[in-house]
Amino acid sequence: MNLSEREKKQILESIRDIPDFPKPGIIFKDITTLLNNPKAFKILMDHLEEHYKDAGIDYIAGAESRGFIFGAPLADRLGAGFVPIRKPGKLPFTTIAEKYSLEYGFDEVEIHIDAFSGKPNPKVLFIDDLIATGGTANASINLIKKAGAASVDACFIINLAFLKGIERLSADTTVYSVLDI
């Protein structure tokens, strides 16, 4: 089921724009005001549950840290497991890692090696609050595959469409974004 225009507007208007954060020229999409708005948050979570309830998702993998906030309650609603994808050095057990390039330098994401070992051929949904250039999502999806996922879908609350991040994701990834900006 699609969101009505009114519901979309409610979610969109609950997200605050912070100009020049964390550096000049960036308009930061602040989702703390969405989380703080129980009506908007519920519309969003009900919608994501409805969208994925028959998709056969075994695990939700959330990107640190805002992907955790949407991913964990959605996993609970879908009866799926939740798996954190974290910055280096945060996960306590054996990890596998994936490096990716930033404008200047590199960043890295990690996952526990046994994160998906509870199910054969698991179907995984990757979730983050926002996709910009797609670097984080692309590296995370590669990592999820390395960790043994049979298939990976991706979900974003906000897609900064002008940056074409979704085009950077592998063609076999089914992508859903709630708000295209």
Binding region for ligand AMP (CB under 6 A): 26-29, 63, 66, 128-137, 165
**Residue nearer to ligand AMP on the CB measure, 64 or 76:** 64
**Smallest gap, in angstroms, from Cβ of residue 28 to ligand AMP?**
4
**Smallest gap, in angstroms, from Cβ of residue 30 to ligand AMP?**
7
**Residue nearer to ligand AMP on the CB measure, 167 or 172:** 167
**Residue nearer to ligand AMP on the CB measure, 110 or 129:** 129
The residue type found at 122 is P
**Residue nearer to ligand AMP on the CB measure, 28 or 176:** 28
**Smallest gap, in angstroms, from Cβ of residue 59 to ligand AMP?**
19
**Smallest gap, in angstroms, from Cβ of residue 161 to ligand AMP?**
12
Active-site position among 5, 7, 64, 103: 103
Q: How far apart are CA 173 and CA 176, in angstroms?
A: 10
Q: Is 86 helix (H, G, I), strand (E, B) or coil?
A: strand
Q: Is 49 a catalytic residue?
A: no
Q: Is 114 helix (H, G, I), strand (E, B) or coil?
A: coil
Angle among Cα 112, 118, 122 to the nearest 5 degrees reads 90
Upstream peptide bond of 88 is cis (omega within 30 degrees of 0): no
Q: Is 103 a catalytic residue?
A: yes
Q: How far apart are CA 129 and CA 152, in angstroms?
A: 17
In the chain the first and final C-alpha atoms are separated, in Å, by: 20
Q: How far apart are CA 126 and CA 177, in angstroms?
A: 12
Active-site position among 66, 86, 98, 110: 66
Q: Indicate which residues carry an active-site annotation.
A: 66, 103
